[in-house]
């Protein structure tokens, strides 16, 4: 477990990456305190942090948003709903979250476009890779919704896929439930577990560590995409992640 050579802990102004994809779970938008599916205060706080970090650091930021606060394909499949149908429901859930996030970002003055992998022209642009890149170059945040448009995936894999497609240098995987990186075992059940500062893709696979879906890990490995797993709920961490402060775990 070696610590990577990152920028000085005091340097909060120099971005480590020029273009990144932030993977935001649907549950990060829900309320920890109440049963709100989308908690306006939480979304507002995240949007404020995303907007200020993006503009102050001048990084190009795309977001892949999940839908687990509303629906996951596996829920329905367990209850007898056809798996592909249930996954379509999950993808639509990500669009709902994407619109909530877009609204909050734009209220912070951050121009934002939602691109959906499932066509719904009235509410979102279709996913068009070159257009997404153009938006990023103009300083807009691009939210990729509806995953990849294909069932049998979670949003981890489209986060990796879109990152490769748009030439992002890293996937920032924000966690929410108090686990602030990759541990040797589940720290909620094994208090003695230790957090890695850095770990290789192969070790993640060999130890079966639950960082991201294995499909996404394999994709990142094949395409040389670093993954930073970090706690997105701690205020200031999005900026810390973007400037390479030693937080979370870097998978590469
Ligand atoms: N989903 C899918 N294909 C994709 C992305 C997502 O079928 O490319 C569906 C899948 O059912 C998944 C749901 O959308 O469970 C919500 O995404 P995810 O579980 O990744 O949400 P998160 O856990 O990040 O909130």
For 56-70, write each residue's pLDDT tens digit.
999 999 999 999 999
Is the CB–ligand 1 distance for residue 87 below 6 Å? yes
* Residue 10: predicted pLDDT: 53
Is the CB–ligand 1 distance for residue 94 below 6 Å? yes
Considering only CA atoms, which residue is closest to atom 6 of ligand 1? 154
* Residue 12: predicted pLDDT: 78
CA of 73 relative to ligand 1 center, distance in Å: 7
Which ligand 1 atom lies nearest to the CA of residue 73?
A: 11
* Residue 78: predicted pLDDT: 84
Short-list 149, 145, 86, CA closest to 113: 145
The C-alpha atoms of residue 143 and residue 39 are separated, in whole angstroms, by 18
Is the CB–ligand 1 distance for residue 27 below 6 Å? yes
List the 249-251 sheet strands across, edge first.
125-126, 112-116, 141-145, 60-65, 19-24, 170-175, 226-231, 249-251, 198-199
CA of 6 relative to ligand 1 center, distance in Å: 32
Distance from first CA to last CA of the chain, Å, rounded?
13
Burial class (CB in 10 A: 0-12, 13-18, 19+), 4: exposed
* Residue 3: predicted pLDDT: 46
Stretches where the chain sits below pLDDT 50 are 1-8
* Residue 54: predicted pLDDT: 97
Residue 196: partners with Cβ closer than 8 Å, 6 or more residues away: 1, 181, 182, 183, 184, 249
> How many Cα atoms occupy the beta-carbon half-sphere of 217 within 13 Å?
19
What pTM did the predictor assign? Answer: 0.94
């Amino acid at each position: 477990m070696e610590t990577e050579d990152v920028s000085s802990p005091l340097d909060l102004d120099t971005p480590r990456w020029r273009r990144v994809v932030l993977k935001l779970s649907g549950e990060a938008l829900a309320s920890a305190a109440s049963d709100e599916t989308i908690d306006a205060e939480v979304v507002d706080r995240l949007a404020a942090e995303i907007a200020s970090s993006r503009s102050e650091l001048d990084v190009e930021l795309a977001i892949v948003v999940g839908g687990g606060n509303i629906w996951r394909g596996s829920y329905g499949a367990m209850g007898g709903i056809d798996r592909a149908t249930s996954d379509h429901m999950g993808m639509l859930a990500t669009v709902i979250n994407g619109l909530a996030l877009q609204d909050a970002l734009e209220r912070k003055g951050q121009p934002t476009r939602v691109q959906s992998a499932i066509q719904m022209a009235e509410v979102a642009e279709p996913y068009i890779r070159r257009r997404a890149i153009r938006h990023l170059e103009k300083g807009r945040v691009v939210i990729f919704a509806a995953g990849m448009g294909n069932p049998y995936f979670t949003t981890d894999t489209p986060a990796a896929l879109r990152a490769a497609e748009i030439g992002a240098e890293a996937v920032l995987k924000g966690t929410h439930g108090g686990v602030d990186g990759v541990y040797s075992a589940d720290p909620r059940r094994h208090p003695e577990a230790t957090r890695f500062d850095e770990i290789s893709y192969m070790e993640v696979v060999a130890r079966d560590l639950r960082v991201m879906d294995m499909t996404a890990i394999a994709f990142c490995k094949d395409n040389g995409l670093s993954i930073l797993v970090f706690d997105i709920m701690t205020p200031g961490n999005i900026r810390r992640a973007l400037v390479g402060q030693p937080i979370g775990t870097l998978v590469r």
